Structure 1
Amino acid sequence: MITEVTLRLADNVKVKRVNEVMPISEYYRYFSQHIRSDKTAIFHNAIIYPPDFKKVRSVTFEQTQEPVTIASRLRPLVKPTLWQKQKPKIIASSVFGKELRKLHDYVDYARRPVMWRNYEASFNVASLKPIAYKNKSFVLEEFFIPVERFDNFYPELIAILKKHRVNVMNISVRHANRDSGSLLAWARTEVFAFVIYYQQSTDERSKEQVGVWTRELIDAVLVNGGSYFLPYQLHATSEQFQQAYPQAAQFFKLKARIDPENKFSNMLLERYRPETVQ
């Protein structure tokens, strides 16, 4: 339940998309020197490309006074193009599909469009479709690493994904500041979020295999002082959950006090709730 909200509004400024491709080993230095303290950087993320995970595309939307090249204030509600519909299936199908995606990005990112901030922020969630095909599903996992541990973590991430032959479509690296107020805060310090978009089969054996490499990744995250995103598949052990969220016991005690009949619950809370507060 949300009982109170405070909204911080931002001006709808003009932004220009700029990008640079670099070896993954250079990204943390590049981010620290060029993005981290840049007040004109409105949006930023980096794309780690499978299947070799050696290259990163840094994408930044910088505030600008240049005239817009896209006049619309918001993205129109239109049906996805044929490429947009087929893109996930093509990328997931083979190494060739992943290389084709790289080629498409090289062409697309050659442009440096200028647009309104709200235009870039108004993607329709329908653009994520299709989410699944017969017996297969496109899934997200997300892991949070203190920014200074980037170079320590990414080799472990890549090694685990390659060892288990995970069909990764894309890894997006995003930046988040410390969350100082939430008991189940995933950003206890300034972090990079590694968002893994992959395809898996939906049979029980495949789910079990996903659980194996997910727990390996969580172990690597914990060694580096990080955490993982809770609302996805519940593969983490209770010990991993407690280590990633050290204030969980306080959270469950508070919930038991304000919701003694447990009217508000979900699979995650039932999975990790201590026996003593049930």
Structure 2
Amino acid sequence: MQGEKIRILSEALANQIAAGEVVERPASVVKELVENSLDAGAGRILVEVEKGGVAKIRVTDDGEGMIRDDAVLCLERHATSKIRDESDLFEIETLGFRGEAIPSIASVSRMEIRTRTEGEACGTLVRVAGGAMRGIEDVGCPKGTSITVADLFWNTPARRKFLKSVNTELGHITETVDRIALAHPSVHFELSHNGRRLRRYPAASEPRTRIAQVLGKEIHRDLFEIREETKTLRLHAFASSPARSAASSKQIHTFLNGRYLRDKVLIHAVAAAYQEVLPK
């Protein structure tokens, strides 16, 4: 009789495998952390990265913060403040809800969480390495949360080997921040790389202003607004004149409930509509 072949994976290994679904590259980390900041009600989000995000990623916000117990609990898989039972799945208003991002990122990096809520005299500092707790202590910090992710994929060298150049990874991060900023114009965003600021988008009172910040003032001056509403959906769009048509569909930015999406059917519909009015 052959020996047993089926075994239960260790929690650390299970988290590293799960991280493969959440953490593809540094830009994935930025996306997950920034979305957490938005869900926490942040009005100001700062993103700092070093060496394309492989050496360090820090996302700091002025959101509601976490008490000590929650700062520790958020490192457990499927720990979330965003849903309580299955009925909530049909009314999700947050960008994240599965409770997998933080533990997945922590399992393949060295992570520090600094956080404080409005009513606390001091904040909490949590240190994690490869998913293992390294320390919890009181710390002075402003209200909100700052999460630092260092040495991404340090314990999974095969994953790190597949990353691209610093400039390529930075390009993905910049694109991620731009997309999220377009979807959330009322939030202030900043992005810096190796101490040099690359992006600064002050909070805007209307989407047009944010479009000008991200895509340029020339496009902003040439936009017309579209609003439609049915019983099941609301559409709010800005379109440029056919004279500013671009060869690439990358200039078509689509969002659903504040989340960027790339839907081929929708993009084709927009492109087809423009084909009718473009000069031959």
TM-score range, shorter chain: under 0.3
**TM-score for both structures, normalised by structure 2:** 0.27
**TM-score for both structures, normalised by structure 1:** 0.27
